[in-house]
Amino acid sequence: AQKITQTQPGMFVQEKEAVTLDCTYDTSDQSYGLFWYKQPSSGEMIFLIYQGSYDEQNATEGRYSLNFQKARKSANLVISASQLGDSAMYFCAMRPSGSARQLTFGSGTQLTVLP
Amino acid sequence: NAGVTQTPKFQVLKTGQSMTLQCAQDMNHEYMSWYRQDPGMGLRLIHYSVGAGITDQGEVPNGYNVSRSTTEDFPLRLLSAAPSQTSVYFCASSYSGSAGGGNEQFFGPGTRLTVL
């Protein structure tokens, strides 16, 4: 079974600063994918970034990067130059190998960007 | 493309009533799934499907039924609603291909269900 742990229920960051949201995972699979989703107060789930377990380079998408440390089983999300619109709930999720493609989610981190 | 659509957006039921949450996608995705989101928790998988005619249970399947007669549609049926099923329900779809493009799941806007 897979498990995702997000230990920060809430985080605050000053506008224009960088912030790291923590995510650790537990799996016995060798092949898996890690995802981050953003959920603003409006409720929709927005895909941010993906990291495959065999990808050698850390994933980046604009201001988002994923700090992937396979040996430590961590996949932290780094948001650079925070903006007020980044205030939202952030979920880390894992997809195991195989054809089922279901996601296991962490409990989320509520990020608040301060002006 | 409309992406993943869900109806209704809001629903109030009485205990014991049944209803169907609708989900449709127009991206020709093989994989579809239903999640529920409760306060303070992440999304939990209820049921999923890897193609028309194929469904399987997720983490919290009790009290829910699904069927997949077409690639586009994946309805979720509540057989006899209970207050514990008060939640926000998300439908999602994705390709079932291997790594590369199209790895992410696309989510619908959600259905907020209250069971009294």
Query: What three-state secondary structure class fits A37?
Result: strand
d(CA A108, CA B75): 27
Query: Given A33, A101, A107, which is nearest B96 (Cβ)?
Result: A101
Q: Is the pLDDT of residue A2 over 70?
A: yes
| pLDDT at residue B12 in the model | 97
* pLDDT for the residue numbered A56: 85
CA distance A69 to chain B (A): 19
- Please report the pLDDT score of residue A29 as a whole number: 83
Cis preceding linkage at B8, omega within 30 = yes
User: Average pLDDT of each block of 10 consecutive residues along chain B (116 residues)?
Assistant: 93 97 94 92 92 92 96 96 97 72 79 97
Smallest Cβ–Cβ distance between A99 and the set B42, B45, B50 belongs to: B50
Answer yes or no: is pLDDT of A47 > 60: yes
Give the pLDDT confidence score for residue B97 in this predicted structure: 61
Sequence-distant (6+) residues with CB within 8 A of B100 are none
**Dist. CA B48–CA B55, nearest whole Å:** 6
Higher pLDDT, residue B98 or A97: A97
